[in-house]
Structure 1
Amino acid sequence: MTTAYRHGITVSSAPGKPRLPLPIEICVFDNGPGAPPDIADHLFDPFVSGRREGQGLGLALVDKLTRDMGGIVQYAREGIPEMTVLRLLLPRATS
């Protein structure tokens, strides 16, 4: 796991809306095989799992809680050798 503060990281919230700064980055790494390609685009949907015994609620909950805080969560396969990266991008707290 890594954490970082990334100056200048922004995402588009919607067409025509201002970009949102999401400078706080939390990355979780896993050296397993990753998600099966046929479900990779749906990992954050409820009840989607690549495991027989999986219920498919964990990543859906992570996505909901991250969005509730104004952030986003991303899934990627990166590096050599390739590994799974779950990246949470969050806004800075305001006072």
Structure 2
Amino acid sequence: MLFVDRFASCRRKVQSNNSNQKSSPLCKLNIAEGSSRKSTIERKRYYEISRGSLIEIDDVTEAAFDLSYLSKEQITSLSLHLNQCFASLSGLIK
């Protein structure tokens, strides 16, 4: 939990607008919403929005690293997970 708390603290310090602060939960919510859609086009659109949220999260983590809020180990681990999520979402969009 220490990592999650530290990440949340970093996000508050790094982010300048309210829409970025919602990236993480919105990513999950858009996946859930998209999964319930019957239309393939509509479902893919929600997955694309989720993928955009992942990119925002990645940008915030890079900024947090640049400001020394995250260690190299933490950023490496988080980047690995973000890349896996991005690849999974890309697979769903195809």
TM-score past 0.5 threshold: no
Instruction: Name the TM-score class by shorter chain.
Output: 0.3 to 0.5
Larger strand proportion of the pair: 1
TM-score, normalising length: structure 2? 0.33
TM-score, normalising length: structure 1? 0.32
